[in-house]
């Protein structure tokens, strides 16, 4: 059994109180409030003081969860804390507010392996699956990004299918949701670490005798971001990777290289768009690769045993036309590019270049609005039509009674707010879904977006497939 103070946080939200207000009202120490925040036991006297102050029952303060039961929202996770997602009542047609506190752990299991710009907190798909998934079900994410949904589906005991148009995203998704043999990864990591040491002491250049073939990359327009030395070093690592026989392991080490490209190039690391940062102190390829491998190995070690005995399928497809039969899946979770997003192909142009792909090729296939596309007069119309088709396709592949959950944000064009959440409500009802929950995902991070108010509300809409007209 584990303890949760979720009812207490709901009480506070309903009364417009902060944790600081509570601390003052019950005259508690900061340590006691911290314990409450971490779902740790506090004395009965503290609980009594809370009940007296808020004039409520113990059940309005504490709830107990059976850790083995399917209703535990922390199920499957070794390190996530139930307090990482606070849900309270909403207003109007928004029936819930989902808040991920700044201190929430969003990198547990393999979620922190790759810093994919635009990923959603794992708590979002986890809560959806906690409510609706049963082991053995099939969960699809048609725009899987860095595989967040796929990891959560696997630990919930569900078969996971991910699609994306971007090959970088497919590689990351495959790696984060694959169950590896840790010892095999560690042995390979130690082999490349030794080689990198040798290459560093011998010469910065590649020793052709040490591995079979050299992998030369042609980076096209992205060439300007890499020094000759950085490129050579990346090529040495790539050549070593190319001789790893088992594809999933090869992919693991390849993704580790893609993860460091921004740091080892002159591309800025603070902004989303890839532009040259002339003042940047560029990091060394071998050192960064070693660090990245350590981080990934730690995550794999921590996650060992968390995965269910489930199937994983990741492949390239357009979310508007999925290679899936009608009525074949139980749950669809969709987190599309937002209206105000830079196109994902642009954000991943360096990684795509290292795969030999010009990002413009992917750009043509994406659902997007920003980028040079923004200046097309019918950009908004194209985005909304595309989004409607994605939702229609989710309806088609879902079994009757199946659940679709989406997270999308209200965008802004030329200072005008576009209410994508409200538009999505209209769309899904038109398609034949019945809305079960419409939550606002409150953003607590201090990112440029939140601060500049370009993106204020993110909507989570959970709906059920009823017999409709799609």
Ligand X SMILES: C[S@@+](CC[C@H](N)C(=O)[O-])C[C@H]1O[C@@H](n2cnc3c(N)ncnc32)[C@H](O)[C@@H]1O
C-alpha distances out from residue 401 to 132, 164, 223, Å: 11, 25, 50
Cβ 121 to ligand X shortest distance, Å: 8
344 binds ligand X (CB under 6 A): yes
127 binds ligand X (CB under 6 A): no
Give the interface segment with ligand X, choosing from 3-11, 240-248, 363-371, 425-433 (CB under 6 A). 363-371
From 98, 108, 163, 449, residue interacting with ligand X (rule: CB under 6 A): 163
From 74, 129, 367, 460, residue interacting with ligand X (rule: CB under 6 A): 367
Beta-carbon count within 10 A of 358 CB: 14
118 binds ligand X (CB under 6 A): yes
From 6, 128, 156, 165, residue interacting with ligand X (rule: CB under 6 A): 165
Cβ 15 to ligand X shortest distance, Å: 33
Beta carbon nearer to ligand X, 335 or 454: 335
From 319, 349, 404, 463, residue interacting with ligand X (rule: CB under 6 A): 319
351 binds ligand X (CB under 6 A): no
Note the Cα 114 to chain centre separation in Å: 9
Place of tokens 């201090």: 446
Cα 40–Cα 44–Cα 45 angle in degrees, nearest 5: 120
From 10, 19, 35, 119, residue interacting with ligand X (rule: CB under 6 A): 119
From 108, 116, 132, 286, residue interacting with ligand X (rule: CB under 6 A): 116
Beta carbon nearer to ligand X, 236 or 348: 348
335 binds ligand X (CB under 6 A): yes
318 binds ligand X (CB under 6 A): yes
Give the interface segment with ligand X, choosing from 54-62, 234-242, 314-322, 450-458 (CB under 6 A). 314-322
- The two beta strands, 96-99 and 86-89, are antiparallel
User: Is the CB of residue 170 less than 8 Å from the CB of residue 315?
Assistant: yes
158 binds ligand X (CB under 6 A): no
Cβ 58 to ligand X shortest distance, Å: 37
Cβ 176 to ligand X shortest distance, Å: 9
Beta carbon nearer to ligand X, 13 or 107: 107
458 binds ligand X (CB under 6 A): no
Q: How far apart are CA 157 and CA 168, in angstroms?
A: 26
352 binds ligand X (CB under 6 A): no
Beta carbon nearer to ligand X, 11 or 342: 342
What is the SS3 string spanning the chain?
CEEECHHHHHHHHHCCCCHHHHHHHHCCCHHHHHHHHCCCCCCHHHHHHHHHHHCCCHHHCCEEECCCCCCCCCCCCCCCCHHHCEEEECCCCCCEEEECCCCCCCCCCCCCCCCCCCCCCCHHHHHHHHHHCCCCCEEEECCCCCCHHHHHHHHCCCEEEEEECCHHHHHHHHHHCCCCCHHHHHHHHHHHHHHHHHHHHHCCCCCCCCCCCCCCCCCHHHHHHCCHHHHHHHHHHHHHHHCCCCHHHHHHHHHHHHHHCCCCCCECCCCCCCCECCCCCCCCHHHHHHHHHHHHHHHHHHHCCCCCCCCEEEEECECCECCCCCCCEEEEEECCCCCCCCCHHHHCHHHHHHCCCCHHHHHCCCCCCCHHHHHCCCHHHHHHHHHHHHHHHHHHHEEEEEEEEEEEECEEECCEEECHHHHHHHHHHHHCEEEEEEEEEECCCCCHHHHHCCCCCEEEEEEEECCCCC
User: Is the CB of residue 420 less than 8 Å from the CB of residue 390?
Assistant: no
Cβ 207 to ligand X shortest distance, Å: 37
Give the interface segment with ligand X, choosing from 2-10, 181-189, 254-262, 317-325 (CB under 6 A). 317-325
From 5, 98, 120, 395, residue interacting with ligand X (rule: CB under 6 A): 120
Cβ 126 to ligand X shortest distance, Å: 12
Cβ 5 to ligand X shortest distance, Å: 28
Give the interface segment with ligand X, choosing from 14-22, 100-108, 111-119, 252-260 (CB under 6 A). 111-119
Between residue 8 and residue 67, which ones bind ligand X under the rule CB under 6 A?
A: none
Beta carbon nearer to ligand X, 290 or 337: 337
Residue whose beta carbon is closest to ligand X: 145
Give the interface segment with ligand X, choosing from 69-77, 239-247, 334-342, 451-459 (CB under 6 A). 334-342
Beta carbon nearer to ligand X, 106 or 444: 106
From 105, 146, 340, 342, residue interacting with ligand X (rule: CB under 6 A): 146
From 169, 340, 424, 458, residue interacting with ligand X (rule: CB under 6 A): 169
143 binds ligand X (CB under 6 A): yes
Beta carbon nearer to ligand X, 26 or 353: 353
The angle that helices 247-260 and 182-202 make with each other, rounded to 10 degrees, is 50
* Binding-site ranges for ligand X (CB under 6 A): 116, 118-120, 142-143, 145-146, 148, 163-166, 169, 318-320, 335-337, 344, 365-367
């Amino acid at each position: 059994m584990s303890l949760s103070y979720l009812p207490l946080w709901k009480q506070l939200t309903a009364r417009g109180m902060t944790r600081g207000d509570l601390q003052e009202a019950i005259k508690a120490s900061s340590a006691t409030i911290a314990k409450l925040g971490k779902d740790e036991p506090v004395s009965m006297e503290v609980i009594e003081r809370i009940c007296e102050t808020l004039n409520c029952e113990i059940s309005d303060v504490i709830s107990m969860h059976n850790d083995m039961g399917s209703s535990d929202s922390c199920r499957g996770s070794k390190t996530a804390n139930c307090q990482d997602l606070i849900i309270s009542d909403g207003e109007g047609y928004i029936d819930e507010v989902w808040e991920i506190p700044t201190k929430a752990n969003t990198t547990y299991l393999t979620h922190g392996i790759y810093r994919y710009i635009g990923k959603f907190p794992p708590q979002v798909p986890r809560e959806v699956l906690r409510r609706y998934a049963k082991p053995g079900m099939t969960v699809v994410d048609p725009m899987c990004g860095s595989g967040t949904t796929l990891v959560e589906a696997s630990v919930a005991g569900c078969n996971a299918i991910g699609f994306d148009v971007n090959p970088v995203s497919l590689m990351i998704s495959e790696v984060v949701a694959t169950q590896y043999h840790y010892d095999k990864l560690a042995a390979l990591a130690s082999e490349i670490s030794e080689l990198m040491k040798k290459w560093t002491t011998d010469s910065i250049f590649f020793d052709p005798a040490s591995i079979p073939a050299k992998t030369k990359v042609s980076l096209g327009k992205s060439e300007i971001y890499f020094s000759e030395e950085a490129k050579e070093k990346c090529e040495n690592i790539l050549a070593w990777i190319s001789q790893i026989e088992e594809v999933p392991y090869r992919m693991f080490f390849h993704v580790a290289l893609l993860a460091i490209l921004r740091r080892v190039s002159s591309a800025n690391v603070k902004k989303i768009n890839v532009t040259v940062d002339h003042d940047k102190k560029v990091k060394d390829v071998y050192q960064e690769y070693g660090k990245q491998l350590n981080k990934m190995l730690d995550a794999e070690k921590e996650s060992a045993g968390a995965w269910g005995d489930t199937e994983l399928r990741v492949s390239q497809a357009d979310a508007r036309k999925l290679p899936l039969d009608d009525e074949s899946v139980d749950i669809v979770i969709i987190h599309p590019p937002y209206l105000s997003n830079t196109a994902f192909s642009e954000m991943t142009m360096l990684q795509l270049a290292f795969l030999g792909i010009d990002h413009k090729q992917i750009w043509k296939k994406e659902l997007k609005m920003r980028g040079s596309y923004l200046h097309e007069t019918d950009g908004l119309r194209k985005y909304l039509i595309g989004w409607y088709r994605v939702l229609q396709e989710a309806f088609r592949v879902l079994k009757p009674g199946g659940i679709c959950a989406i997270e999308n944000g209200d965008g802004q064009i030329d200072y005008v707010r576009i209410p994508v959440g409200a538009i999505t409500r209209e769309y899904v009802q038109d398609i034949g879904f019945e809305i079960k929950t419409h939550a606002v995902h409150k953003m607590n991070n201090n990112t440029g977006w939140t601060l500049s108010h370009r993106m204020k509300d993110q909507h989570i809409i959970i709906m059920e497939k009823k017999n409709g007209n799609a």
